[in-house]
Copies of this chain bind each other. A is one copy, B any other.
Amino acid sequence: MKLVTGVIQPHRLDDVKSALEAAGVRGMTVSEASGYGRQKGHTEVYRGAEYTVDLVPKVRIEILVADEDASSIVDVVVGAAQTGKIGDGKVWTVPVDDVARVRTGEHGDAAL
């Protein structure tokens, strides 16, 4: 199994979710994150002091998939999250030894 992790623009989440559903993904885990990268941050001024804020809001999604689905799922995420602007994010794949479903204790692909 694989864990596909995507760090994307927050306003693309709904589209990514729909695309994944369409691709047959039945579950995922989402969390908030901040990104640092090519995308320039911005400047905020509070009472005469200028701050450079270089962390920008992102959303992280994690999807456990069977080995054979990994690369297509990556493509789905990339496709749905893409706006073509700097800061669109990354998607990466990590090998997973095992997955368990808490409710049933099932292991392996059955647990997805």
Which of B26, B29, B74, B101 is in CB contact (< 8 Å) with A60? Answer: B29
Contact A97 B95 (CB under 8 A): yes
Question: What number of copies of this chain does the assembly contain?
Answer: 3
Contact B92 A99 (CB under 8 A): yes
Contact A101 B88 (CB under 8 A): yes
- What residues of chain B lie closer than 8 Å to A35, measured between beta carbons? 27-30
Contact B86 A91 (CB under 8 A): no
Q: Is A48 an interface residue (CB 8 A)?
A: no
CB 8 Å contact bits of A88-112 with B (1 = contact, 0 = none): 1111111111111111010000010
Interface residues of A (CB under 8 A from B): 1-3, 6-8, 17, 26-38, 54-55, 58, 60, 64, 70-71, 74, 77-78, 81-103, 105, 111
